Amino acid sequence: ELTTVRVQDPRVQNEGSWNSYVDYKIFLHTNSKAFTAKTSCVRRRYREFVWLRRQLQRNAGLVPVPELPGKSTFFVGSTDEFIEKRRQGLQQFLEK
């Protein structure tokens, strides 16, 4: 069985306002019989990954749950660079 997940296409929502945020397209493809749909695509923002990680920690017992990329309000570099590093970190989180 094979399951592939990709985090891609980050988009800034409400750009220029105090409540702007970035969401990411999460694409899943699998041939696992455990899934009814073989492909799925949703958009999620960082805080939803935080929620997912907390849920996994509650149910994981002694199994370690992967870390998320940091949430930093102070980032040295461009916004695009920060968004790309976060996207890569979220990709690694879902792969683990």
Please write the tens of the pLDDT for every residue from 15-25.
878 888 899 99
Domain extent for 18: 3-95
Of 60, 66, 58, 59, the closest CA to residue 5 belongs to 66
State the total domains in the chain: 1
Please write the tens of the pLDDT for every residue from 24-65.
999 999 999 988 999 999 999 999 999 999 999 998 888 899
CA 58 remoteness from chain centre: 19
Identify whether the C-beta of residue 92 lies closer than 8 Å to the C-beta of residue 68.
no
Q: The domain spanning residue 61 has which CATH number?
A: 3.30.1520.10
The residue to which tokens 């920060």 are assigned: 82
pLDDT category at 7 given cuts 50, 70, 90 is very high
Q: How far is CA 92 from CA 7, 13, 33, 45, in A?
A: 9, 23, 24, 15
Give the number of residues written for the chain: 96
Which pLDDT score, from 0 to 100, does residue 73 have?
Answer: 60
∠ CA 8-90-82, nearest 5°, is 80
Instruction: State the Rg of the chain over Cα.
Output: 15
Tokens coding 1: 């069985």
pLDDT of residue 76 exceeding 60, the answer is no
